[in-house]
Amino acid sequence: MKILVINGPNINLIGIREPEIYGNKNYKDLCNLLQNKANEIGVQIEIFQSNHEGSIIDKIQEAYGVFDGIIINPAAFTHTSVAIADALTAVNIPYAEVHISDVFSREDFRKISYIRDKAVKTVFGKGFNGYTECLEYLVGELKC
């Protein structure tokens, strides 16, 4: 089983960026946590990050026929990108939506998500653990 993890703009700056919201750990720590969890449950993962909407769309399209599931934190594109939502629908790969922060307790525009309605799961406000929760959930669902 192969799972693709996609992170959108500025997620590479966690640890530096608004630590009171995103915590003190950095992007490498997130990647290590995910890789360790993947090893523990015996699934292959690839982790991708981009600050560019088109690159994220290209990556989603390339996942067709290659990956069984996607975990995605589109970051700010969550609230703006019909194109990312369309790409996820087009490839028809089950996906989980994750946010490090509690998007519902922040500005109103963060409550909007163009990808939520078709996600198999959405986790927010649980920090890095949201990613491992999504990974375990997605793998569980795909095994059924």
Task: Supply the residues annotated as catalytic.
Answer: 22, 99
User: Which residue of 76, 83, 91, 142 would you call a contact of ligand DQA, by CB under 6 A?
Assistant: 76
Nearest CB to ligand DQA, comparing residues 123 and 139: 123
| For the chain, the helix, strand and coil percentages under 3-state DSSP, each to the nearest 5 | 50, 20, 30
Site size for ligand DQA (CB under 6 A): 10
Sheet containing 2-7, strands listed edge to edge, beginning at the edge strand earlier in sequence = 44-49, 2-7, 69-73, 95-99, 121-124
Tokens of 115: 């990808």
Residue ranges in 27-66 that form contacts with ligand DQA under rule CB under 6 A:
none
Q: Is 4 helix (H, G, I), strand (E, B) or coil?
A: strand
Residue ranges in 88-127 that form contacts with ligand DQA under rule CB under 6 A:
99-101, 103, 110
Q: Which residues bind ligand DQA (CB under 6 A)?
A: 10, 73, 75-76, 78, 99-101, 103, 110
